[in-house]
Structure 1
């Protein structure tokens, strides 16, 4: 059993890492095309609108973010895993469709307060597309691909995501030069639709009774997922709010160009970080299935820590030559503000990476108080430190707040979840 577990984890980790690397390449190629065709301000505009849509996801109590954990536990205990997938998907569709209608009705009033008058008409016309992408399709595709992790086939999830990213890149290369940011939005719609239908097809092969459409509604499952969802959403609220808060503060004190530069810098650093995050994601269902075996949990944690510590150093070293090259590729020259953003974010995330195994252990074992606390600390740091420093020093002051919050949150997760795991041994 131990050899099977190790083999499965290694396979899933390798494919997940490959997914992240290919996603990085395709994403930045696509971003380069978008930047060249529409400019930094419209990139910042789209980024700000997607960030606004993500705020609404703070209302999600369906437990969708923990579907991999529920599926893994159900299969481990020989319970009906299909009822978890069906109930979570149906509740997710119902919630986000309602929120989508609310935001469509009220979104234009919010745009007037935050968007430059010269770009306001364009922002209003893009609003429905941005909401469909950020508020409906992205959460649903994330939910279903998470379910694939729950059946222990993160390798198949990785292949699906790789294909969807390559299709997205192809659509961007063909259509963005002709239709601008609109083509970008529709390319994302196509990408997410492919992931949704592809994930469902994969899940039907591994979960008995799933069928062609979600039809099994279970009040018992809903109560269980909502109880878990209350915890995971408290965690997600602070996590999701951090990015929009940063962008709104940057827009207020440094303008849309600063938002676009931050988005480009964050995309590079988060893409490199996503390699280890994706490789570690299969830990969530594994911790969930091992929840009664403290010794095996400890072994799994130790091995994963060794891997992520090595990656943290590789990430820092690799960014030294990558960052200037990235700036030249995007702008044709060295942009010092972009390099400053990358340096601040990469240093903070290199420390933060060490906390990832502890973080995923908390998610898998349903012990998330310190995960929640870490995200609250980061959001609070951005608000309480970022606003006054941003008012005085511009984007540089806001980056200081992000760095302090990122490092402080990692320290909180390691010590808090570490104490919990030691009590289980």
Structure 2
């Protein structure tokens, strides 16, 4: 079991890294060949399709939990029934919302985008809807693999799919936004066919569906999925609200630069979070078998997340101007400040992930729903105020502040319900760990500001920054015993 968790975590991390590098090259090509405004138009179009997933947004959570239970109970008939129900719910409800979106696209794009750009958005929107519909059906098979604890198969598919997107985007680049839309159709078709093939391979049978109705199972599955529906719907509103406010209070260029910054930060965060998500089936198993207390597992997940996410996320805080120079071709202030703001918000949100995952595993979703509603509500309220007074900068700051407040609410509620003290989250050397981080953040803000205002040799800056950052890493390794323990356990696992 431990080996399977380790393989799933490592493969997931590898997938996110490779996918992240792929998107790094993709966005670099798109921003240079198409421009920030065109990238902003595509971002608005693709983000609008998110509403198509609102009807079945609780289904993925239900798939992982119920498939994990069926796997533990060795009940493959139940697993096939869950797959069949999930495909039906997803395909039908997504299709109905796609129809509604298609007939309302005109006023949405005219409201958010200038008339000259909205015409192109309307033309490619049906292709974006088709791609998103296929992707949601594919996710049924992908989340099924997660429930079977075969995340490594999903990771392999995502890695090859990211290369498919990169190659097809390059081949159709001459078609502009049409090329991006076509590339996404090819990408989603590849994922759909690949996920079906991998599930057949894992089950060792082409019979992955069960058409016999099980009313009780259907009722239990729908009830559980509906519990997370509200929270999942609000999650789907996060990105649209921010991008729509940016388009309204800022500009399409701002949307394009935000899209790049957000993709970078969330992709890096995914390296950490997706590795932790492989723990959901383990928590389900722990809950069912009562072999140990999940709260101990929660505390360990939090400490590991805090220690790993800190140097990884804030690396990009430190090097933001250099990333802008390489990726965009110049130091773009809005892009750099978006990275700063998003990293702080997503970092705090990452620290709430252990509580979120623990709630998912034991089926107590109320606190997760409260966090989602709080995030969307704060983002909506703060976004209007921030956008009105500070334009695009205010919108991005509002989103980050919403993440911070809602994450704090979730951690507080989780500890209160489970009668946990915040002290269980502390680890030896944590005070110096976070003080050194704060010093690094302040130094980076001042130095990056003055460097951006002057003509400088960026190669020399990169070397100096790298030496400083490497020195900080060595220091925290020596002064954080848990890091040394993690390194020893990893070495023992590899060489035992």
TM range, smaller chain: over 0.9
**1:370 and 2:367 equivalent?**
yes
Which residue of the other structure, out of 172, 191, 197, is the alignment partner of 1:195?
191
Alignment match, 1:390: 387
Deviation at 1:218, TM superposition (A): 3.9
Alignment match, 2:251: 255
Deviation at 1:418, TM superposition (A): 3.3
For residues 22 and 242 of structure 1, the distance between their equivalents in structure 2, rounded to whole angstroms, comes to 25
Deviates more, 1:42-51 or 1:297-306: 297-306
User: Does structure 2 conserve the Cα–Cα contact (< 8 Å) formed by 1:81 and 1:207?
Assistant: no
Which residue of the other structure, out of 14, 34, 41, is the alignment partner of 2:37?
41
**1:173 and 2:187 equivalent?**
no
Alignment match, 1:107: 105
Deviates more, 1:105-114 or 1:47-56: 105-114
Normalising by the residue count of structure 1, what TM-score does the alignment of the two structures yield? 0.92
User: Does structure 2 conserve the Cα–Cα contact (< 8 Å) formed by 1:374 and 1:408?
Assistant: no
Deviation at 1:212, TM superposition (A): 6.1
**1:344 and 2:350 equivalent?**
no
Gaps of 5+ in 1: none
Alignment match, 1:145: 142
For residues 101 and 89 of structure 1, the distance between their equivalents in structure 2, rounded to whole angstroms, comes to 18
For residues 71 and 415 of structure 1, the distance between their equivalents in structure 2, rounded to whole angstroms, comes to 30
Cα 1:61–1:328 shift into 2, 3 Å: closer
Cα 1:349–1:213 shift into 2, 3 Å: same
For residues 273 and 224 of structure 2, the distance between their equivalents in structure 1, rounded to whole angstroms, comes to 22
Deviation at 1:208, TM superposition (A): 7.2
Deviations 1:281-314 (A, max 9, x none): 2112221222132724234323322221112211
For residues 57 and 20 of structure 2, the distance between their equivalents in structure 1, rounded to whole angstroms, comes to 30
Q: Structure 2 matches for 1:260-271, cutoff 5 A? A: 260-271=256-267
**1:381 and 2:354 equivalent?**
no
For residues 154 and 352 of structure 2, the distance between their equivalents in structure 1, rounded to whole angstroms, comes to 24
**1:279 and 2:275 equivalent?**
yes
Q: Structure 2 matches for 1:210-249, cutoff 5 A? A: 211=207, 215-249=211-245
Q: Structure 2 matches for 1:202-213, cutoff 5 A? A: 202-207=198-203, 211=207
**1:334 and 2:331 equivalent?**
yes
Deviation at 1:124, TM superposition (A): 1.3
Alignment match, 1:81: 79
Alignment match, 2:456: none
Cα 1:219–1:107 shift into 2, 3 Å: farther
User: Does structure 1 conserve the Cα–Cα contact (< 8 Å) formed by 2:87 and 2:140?
Assistant: yes
Deviation at 1:197, TM superposition (A): 1.7
Deviations 1:87-119 (A, max 9, x none): 111221111122222322332233232221111
Alignment match, 2:397: 400
User: Does structure 2 conserve the Cα–Cα contact (< 8 Å) formed by 1:151 and 1:206?
Assistant: no
Alignment match, 2:443: none
For residues 167 and 416 of structure 1, the distance between their equivalents in structure 2, rounded to whole angstroms, comes to 43
Q: Which has the higher contact order (CA 8 A, sep 6+)?
A: 1
Q: Over aligned residue pairs, what C-alpha RMSD do you find?
A: 2.0
Deviation at 1:131, TM superposition (A): 1.2
User: Does structure 2 conserve the Cα–Cα contact (< 8 Å) formed by 1:34 and 1:181?
Assistant: no
For residues 287 and 198 of structure 2, the distance between their equivalents in structure 1, rounded to whole angstroms, comes to 26
Deviates more, 1:107-116 or 1:8-17: 107-116
User: Does structure 2 conserve the Cα–Cα contact (< 8 Å) formed by 1:19 and 1:158?
Assistant: yes
Aligned to 2:287, the other structure's residue is in SS state coil
Deviation at 1:334, TM superposition (A): 0.5
Gaps of 5+ in 2: 421-496
User: Does structure 1 conserve the Cα–Cα contact (< 8 Å) formed by 2:51 and 2:97?
Assistant: no
Deviation at 1:141, TM superposition (A): 2.0
Aligned pair count?
417
Deviations 1:125-184 (A, max 9, x none): 1110111123x02222222211101111111111111111111111122221x2122221
Cα 1:236–1:349 shift into 2, 3 Å: same
Deviation at 1:204, TM superposition (A): 2.3
Deviation at 1:258, TM superposition (A): 1.3
Deviation at 1:317, TM superposition (A): 3.1
Cα 1:369–1:210 shift into 2, 3 Å: farther
Deviations 1:234-293 (A, max 9, x none): 111111111111111111111211111111111111011010111112112221222132
Cα 1:340–1:278 shift into 2, 3 Å: same
**1:6 and 2:11 equivalent?**
no
For residues 109 and 252 of structure 1, the distance between their equivalents in structure 2, rounded to whole angstroms, comes to 14
